[in-house]
Structure 1
Amino acid sequence: MRHKKKGRQLGRQTKHRWALFRSLVTSLLEQERIETTEAKAKEIRGFTDRMISLGKEGSLPARRRALSFLRSKAVVSKLFSDVASRFRDRPGGYTRIIRTRRRIGDAAEMVAIELVTRPEKPKAVSSTDVAATEKKETADKSTAPAEN
Protein backbone atom coordinates (compact mmCIF):
# COMPACT_ATOMS: atom_id res chain seq x y z
CA MET A 1 0.00 0.00 0.00
CA ARG A 2 1.11 3.55 -0.67
CA HIS A 3 -0.06 5.19 2.52
CA LYS A 4 1.41 8.67 3.01
CA LYS A 5 3.31 8.55 -0.29
CA LYS A 6 3.06 11.93 -1.94
CA GLY A 7 2.99 12.57 -5.70
CA ARG A 8 2.31 10.50 -8.78
CA GLN A 9 4.73 7.89 -10.10
CA LEU A 10 3.59 8.27 -13.72
CA GLY A 11 4.94 4.79 -14.54
CA ARG A 12 8.56 5.98 -14.45
CA GLN A 13 11.68 5.51 -12.39
CA THR A 14 12.61 8.37 -10.07
CA LYS A 15 15.39 9.87 -12.20
CA HIS A 16 13.28 9.69 -15.35
CA ARG A 17 10.36 11.34 -13.53
CA TRP A 18 12.53 14.20 -12.25
CA ALA A 19 13.99 14.73 -15.73
CA LEU A 20 10.44 14.87 -17.10
CA PHE A 21 9.41 17.47 -14.50
CA ARG A 22 12.46 19.61 -15.25
CA SER A 23 11.80 19.45 -18.96
CA LEU A 24 8.11 20.31 -18.62
CA VAL A 25 8.73 23.24 -16.24
CA THR A 26 11.46 24.59 -18.51
CA SER A 27 9.16 24.37 -21.53
CA LEU A 28 6.30 26.00 -19.64
CA LEU A 29 8.43 28.95 -18.54
CA GLU A 30 9.92 29.30 -22.01
CA GLN A 31 6.70 29.08 -24.05
CA GLU A 32 4.25 30.13 -21.28
CA ARG A 33 1.69 27.54 -22.45
CA ILE A 34 2.09 23.82 -23.08
CA GLU A 35 -0.27 20.89 -23.62
CA THR A 36 0.26 17.72 -21.62
CA THR A 37 -1.70 15.12 -19.69
CA GLU A 38 -3.72 16.14 -16.65
CA ALA A 39 -1.59 14.14 -14.20
CA LYS A 40 1.67 15.66 -15.46
CA ALA A 41 0.21 19.17 -15.40
CA LYS A 42 -0.97 18.80 -11.82
CA GLU A 43 2.47 17.57 -10.78
CA ILE A 44 4.45 20.39 -12.42
CA ARG A 45 2.16 23.10 -11.03
CA GLY A 46 4.00 23.18 -7.71
CA PHE A 47 7.46 23.17 -9.31
CA THR A 48 6.51 26.06 -11.58
CA ASP A 49 5.14 28.07 -8.66
CA ARG A 50 8.37 27.51 -6.72
CA MET A 51 10.49 28.64 -9.67
CA ILE A 52 8.44 31.84 -10.06
CA SER A 53 8.76 32.50 -6.33
CA LEU A 54 12.53 32.17 -6.69
CA GLY A 55 12.39 34.63 -9.58
CA LYS A 56 10.46 37.09 -7.44
CA GLU A 57 13.09 36.78 -4.71
CA GLY A 58 15.71 37.84 -7.24
CA SER A 59 18.86 37.06 -5.22
CA LEU A 60 21.94 35.27 -6.52
CA PRO A 61 21.32 32.11 -4.45
CA ALA A 62 17.75 32.01 -5.77
CA ARG A 63 19.07 32.32 -9.33
CA ARG A 64 21.49 29.44 -8.71
CA ARG A 65 18.72 27.25 -7.25
CA ALA A 66 16.54 27.95 -10.29
CA LEU A 67 19.43 27.19 -12.64
CA SER A 68 20.10 23.88 -10.88
CA PHE A 69 16.52 22.81 -11.59
CA LEU A 70 15.83 24.37 -14.99
CA ARG A 71 19.16 23.74 -16.72
CA SER A 72 18.71 26.53 -19.25
CA LYS A 73 20.35 29.90 -18.73
CA ALA A 74 18.06 31.61 -21.23
CA VAL A 75 14.93 30.44 -19.40
CA VAL A 76 16.38 31.44 -16.02
CA SER A 77 17.16 34.94 -17.27
CA LYS A 78 13.65 35.22 -18.73
CA LEU A 79 12.21 33.98 -15.43
CA PHE A 80 14.10 36.53 -13.33
CA SER A 81 13.63 39.51 -15.65
CA ASP A 82 10.26 39.14 -17.40
CA VAL A 83 8.10 36.54 -15.66
CA ALA A 84 8.89 37.52 -12.07
CA SER A 85 8.10 41.19 -12.74
CA ARG A 86 4.64 40.25 -14.06
CA PHE A 87 3.83 38.37 -10.85
CA ARG A 88 5.38 40.91 -8.45
CA ASP A 89 2.10 41.70 -6.65
CA ARG A 90 0.57 38.22 -6.87
CA PRO A 91 1.02 36.05 -3.74
CA GLY A 92 0.66 32.68 -5.52
CA GLY A 93 -1.33 30.69 -8.04
CA TYR A 94 0.74 31.49 -11.09
CA THR A 95 -0.57 28.74 -13.37
CA ARG A 96 -3.92 27.79 -14.87
CA ILE A 97 -5.01 24.35 -16.13
CA ILE A 98 -7.57 24.20 -18.95
CA ARG A 99 -9.00 20.89 -20.15
CA THR A 100 -8.65 20.64 -23.92
CA ARG A 101 -9.40 17.18 -25.34
CA ARG A 102 -8.93 13.43 -25.06
CA ARG A 103 -5.83 12.02 -26.72
CA ILE A 104 -6.72 9.74 -29.62
CA GLY A 105 -4.31 6.87 -28.87
CA ASP A 106 -5.16 6.12 -25.25
CA ALA A 107 -8.01 8.54 -24.41
CA ALA A 108 -5.87 10.32 -21.82
CA GLU A 109 -7.29 13.63 -20.58
CA MET A 110 -5.19 16.38 -22.19
CA VAL A 111 -4.91 19.83 -20.65
CA ALA A 112 -3.22 23.10 -21.45
CA ILE A 113 -1.22 24.52 -18.57
CA GLU A 114 -0.33 28.18 -18.88
CA LEU A 115 0.87 31.13 -16.88
CA VAL A 116 -2.00 33.23 -15.58
CA THR A 117 -0.73 36.53 -17.00
CA ARG A 118 0.66 36.17 -20.48
CA PRO A 119 1.83 39.07 -22.64
CA GLU A 120 -0.69 40.06 -25.28
CA LYS A 121 0.34 39.23 -28.82
CA PRO A 122 -0.82 41.64 -31.53
CA LYS A 123 -3.61 40.28 -33.69
CA ALA A 124 -2.80 39.38 -37.26
CA VAL A 125 -4.14 42.11 -39.52
CA SER A 126 -6.13 40.79 -42.46
CA SER A 127 -6.36 42.46 -45.85
CA THR A 128 -10.05 43.29 -45.28
CA ASP A 129 -9.14 45.20 -42.10
CA VAL A 130 -6.51 47.19 -43.99
CA ALA A 131 -8.96 47.99 -46.81
CA ALA A 132 -11.63 49.08 -44.30
CA THR A 133 -9.26 51.45 -42.49
CA GLU A 134 -8.04 52.96 -45.78
CA LYS A 135 -11.63 53.47 -46.93
CA LYS A 136 -12.48 55.14 -43.62
CA GLU A 137 -9.45 57.45 -43.85
CA THR A 138 -10.33 58.58 -47.38
CA ALA A 139 -13.95 59.19 -46.31
CA ASP A 140 -12.74 61.29 -43.37
CA LYS A 141 -10.54 63.38 -45.66
CA SER A 142 -13.34 64.05 -48.14
CA THR A 143 -15.79 65.15 -45.44
CA ALA A 144 -13.30 67.37 -43.59
CA PRO A 145 -13.66 71.12 -44.22
CA ALA A 146 -11.05 72.64 -46.49
CA GLU A 147 -8.50 74.93 -44.84
CA ASN A 148 -7.35 78.15 -46.48
Structure 2
Amino acid sequence: MPGTRKLGRTSDQRKAMLRAMVTFLLENGKIETTVTRAKEVAAMTEKMITLGKSSELHSKRQVFAYVTKEAVAKKLFDEIAPKYADRKGGYTKIIKIGPRRGDAAEMAIIQLV
Protein backbone atom coordinates (compact mmCIF):
# COMPACT_ATOMS: atom_id res chain seq x y z
CA MET A 1 0.00 0.00 0.00
CA PRO A 2 1.47 3.37 -0.95
CA GLY A 3 2.14 5.85 1.79
CA THR A 4 3.41 3.63 4.60
CA ARG A 5 7.00 4.96 4.66
CA LYS A 6 7.62 8.28 6.41
CA LEU A 7 10.88 9.12 4.58
CA GLY A 8 12.00 11.43 7.39
CA ARG A 9 9.53 14.20 6.52
CA THR A 10 6.23 15.59 7.71
CA SER A 11 3.13 14.42 5.89
CA ASP A 12 2.66 17.57 3.78
CA GLN A 13 6.34 17.63 2.74
CA ARG A 14 6.19 13.90 1.92
CA LYS A 15 3.06 14.29 -0.23
CA ALA A 16 4.57 17.24 -2.11
CA MET A 17 7.82 15.37 -2.72
CA LEU A 18 6.04 12.26 -3.99
CA ARG A 19 3.76 14.30 -6.26
CA ALA A 20 6.79 16.05 -7.75
CA MET A 21 8.73 12.81 -8.21
CA VAL A 22 5.77 11.01 -9.83
CA THR A 23 5.27 13.96 -12.18
CA PHE A 24 8.98 14.00 -13.08
CA LEU A 25 8.99 10.23 -13.68
CA LEU A 26 5.96 10.41 -15.98
CA GLU A 27 7.51 13.37 -17.80
CA ASN A 28 11.01 11.96 -18.34
CA GLY A 29 10.62 8.19 -18.09
CA LYS A 30 13.29 7.62 -15.42
CA ILE A 31 14.76 9.18 -12.28
CA GLU A 32 17.61 8.43 -9.88
CA THR A 33 16.79 8.42 -6.17
CA THR A 34 17.18 6.32 -3.02
CA VAL A 35 15.70 2.83 -2.91
CA THR A 36 13.02 3.63 -0.31
CA ARG A 37 11.84 6.72 -2.19
CA ALA A 38 11.86 4.73 -5.43
CA LYS A 39 9.56 2.13 -3.89
CA GLU A 40 7.08 4.81 -2.79
CA VAL A 41 7.24 6.57 -6.17
CA ALA A 42 6.72 3.25 -7.96
CA ALA A 43 3.57 2.54 -5.98
CA MET A 44 2.05 5.95 -6.72
CA THR A 45 3.10 5.88 -10.38
CA GLU A 46 1.44 2.48 -10.80
CA LYS A 47 -1.74 3.93 -9.32
CA MET A 48 -1.64 6.96 -11.66
CA ILE A 49 -1.09 4.81 -14.75
CA THR A 50 -3.95 2.53 -13.73
CA LEU A 51 -6.18 5.59 -13.35
CA GLY A 52 -4.93 6.83 -16.73
CA LYS A 53 -6.08 3.63 -18.42
CA SER A 54 -9.67 4.50 -17.52
CA SER A 55 -11.32 7.24 -19.55
CA GLU A 56 -13.89 8.12 -16.89
CA LEU A 57 -14.22 11.70 -15.70
CA HIS A 58 -13.59 10.76 -12.08
CA SER A 59 -10.24 9.10 -12.83
CA LYS A 60 -9.19 12.10 -14.94
CA ARG A 61 -9.99 14.45 -12.07
CA GLN A 62 -8.02 12.26 -9.66
CA VAL A 63 -4.96 12.31 -11.94
CA PHE A 64 -5.20 16.06 -12.55
CA ALA A 65 -5.46 16.60 -8.78
CA TYR A 66 -2.29 14.57 -8.11
CA VAL A 67 0.04 15.29 -11.04
CA THR A 68 1.48 18.80 -10.73
CA LYS A 69 1.79 19.63 -14.46
CA GLU A 70 -1.20 19.64 -16.76
CA ALA A 71 0.91 18.69 -19.80
CA VAL A 72 2.20 15.59 -18.00
CA ALA A 73 -1.35 14.54 -17.08
CA LYS A 74 -2.38 14.90 -20.73
CA LYS A 75 0.69 12.87 -21.75
CA LEU A 76 -0.36 10.19 -19.26
CA PHE A 77 -3.81 9.84 -20.83
CA ASP A 78 -2.71 10.24 -24.47
CA GLU A 79 0.62 8.37 -24.66
CA ILE A 80 1.62 6.47 -21.52
CA ALA A 81 -1.62 4.73 -20.48
CA PRO A 82 -2.51 3.41 -23.98
CA LYS A 83 0.96 1.86 -24.16
CA TYR A 84 0.10 -0.27 -21.10
CA ALA A 85 -3.51 -1.03 -22.09
CA ASP A 86 -2.98 -4.81 -22.28
CA ARG A 87 -0.78 -4.94 -19.16
CA LYS A 88 -2.31 -5.59 -15.73
CA GLY A 89 0.45 -4.00 -13.65
CA GLY A 90 4.19 -3.70 -13.24
CA TYR A 91 4.62 -0.47 -15.16
CA THR A 92 7.82 0.55 -13.36
CA LYS A 93 11.19 -1.07 -12.80
CA ILE A 94 13.66 -0.32 -9.97
CA ILE A 95 17.36 -0.97 -10.62
CA LYS A 96 19.73 -0.70 -7.65
CA ILE A 97 22.98 1.12 -8.54
CA GLY A 98 24.95 1.03 -5.29
CA PRO A 99 25.67 3.45 -2.45
CA ARG A 100 25.76 7.23 -2.77
CA ARG A 101 29.19 8.77 -2.29
CA GLY A 102 28.28 11.33 0.39
CA ASP A 103 26.26 9.34 2.92
CA ALA A 104 26.32 5.79 1.52
CA ALA A 105 22.54 5.74 1.00
CA GLU A 106 21.48 2.90 -1.30
CA MET A 107 20.64 4.48 -4.68
CA ALA A 108 18.36 3.21 -7.43
CA ILE A 109 17.08 4.16 -10.87
CA ILE A 110 13.33 3.92 -11.33
CA GLN A 111 12.03 3.83 -14.89
CA LEU A 112 8.90 3.06 -16.84
CA VAL A 113 8.96 -0.40 -18.44
TM-score (norm: length of structure 1):
0.73
Equivalents in 1 of 2:30, 2:54: separation in Å? Answer: 23
Structure 1 residue aligned with 2:77: 80
Structure 2 residue aligned with 1:45: 42
Equivalents in 2 of 1:10, 1:65: separation in Å? Answer: 24
Match runs of 1:105-116 below 5 Å = 105-116=102-113
- How many residues matched? 111
Q: Which letter maps to 1:74? A: A
CA RMSD of aligned residues (A): 1.0
Q: Which has the higher contact order (CA 8 A, sep 6+)?
A: 2
Match runs of 1:54-133 below 5 Å = 54-116=51-113
3-state SS of the aligned residue for 2:101?
coil
Cα displacement string for residues 13-58 of structure 1 (whole angstroms, at most 9, x for unaligned residues): 0100000110110000000100000000011111101100111002
Equivalents in 2 of 1:59, 1:82: separation in Å? Answer: 16
Unaligned 5+ segments in structure 1 are: 1-5, 117-148
Q: Looking at CA atoms only, which structure, 1 or 2, has the larger radius of gyration?
A: 1
TM-score (norm: length of structure 2):
0.94
**Runs of 4+ residues over 6 Å off in structure 1:** none
Equivalents in 2 of 1:58, 1:77: separation in Å? Answer: 12
Unaligned 5+ segments in structure 2 are: none
Equivalents in 2 of 1:95, 1:85: separation in Å? Answer: 15
Cα displacement string for residues 51-100 of structure 1 (whole angstroms, at most 9, x for unaligned residues): 00111002222111001011211000000000001100000111000011
Equivalents in 2 of 1:71, 1:110: separation in Å? Answer: 25
Equivalents in 1 of 2:76, 2:5: separation in Å? Answer: 26
Equivalents in 1 of 2:88, 2:7: separation in Å? Answer: 30
Q: Which has the higher strand share?
A: 2
Deviation of 1:101 (Å)? 2.7
Cα displacement string for residues 124-145 of structure 1 (whole angstroms, at most 9, x for unaligned residues): xxxxxxxxxxxxxxxxxxxxxx
